[in-house]
Amino acid sequence: MKKVILDVDTGIDDALAISYAVAQPNIEILGITTTYGMAPVEYTCRNTKYILKVLNKDVPVYEGATTPEKRIRVYNGRIHGNDGLGNTLGHVEKIEKSTLEAVEFIIDSTKKYNRDLTIITTGPLTNLARAVNRAPEIMHSIGKIVTMGGAVATPGNVSKFAEANILIDPESADFVFKSNLPITLVGLDVTRKTLLTQDNIEKWKQLGTPSARFFTKFAQYYLDAYGEMHPHLKGCALHDPLAVGVGLYPELVQTVPMRIEVDLSEEALGRTVEDLNIAEEEKPNVSVCLQVDSNAFMEDFFTKVNHMLSIDTSERV
Active site residues: 9
Is 145:5 a contact under the CB 8 Å cutoff?
A: no
Q: Which residues are CB-contacts of 261 (< 8 A; sequence separation ≥ 6)?
A: 174, 177, 178, 272, 273, 275
Q: Where are the alpha helices (DSSP H) in 4-160?
A: 12-22, 41-54, 102-113, 126-134, 136-139
Residue 231 DSSP label: G
Residue 97 DSSP label: P
Cα Dmax for the chain: 60
Is 4:106 a contact under the CB 8 Å cutoff?
A: no
d(CA 213, CA 231): 25
C-beta neighbour count of 74 within 10 angstroms: 6
Rg (CA), the chain: 18
Angle at 110 between CA 107 and CA 113, to 5 degrees: 150
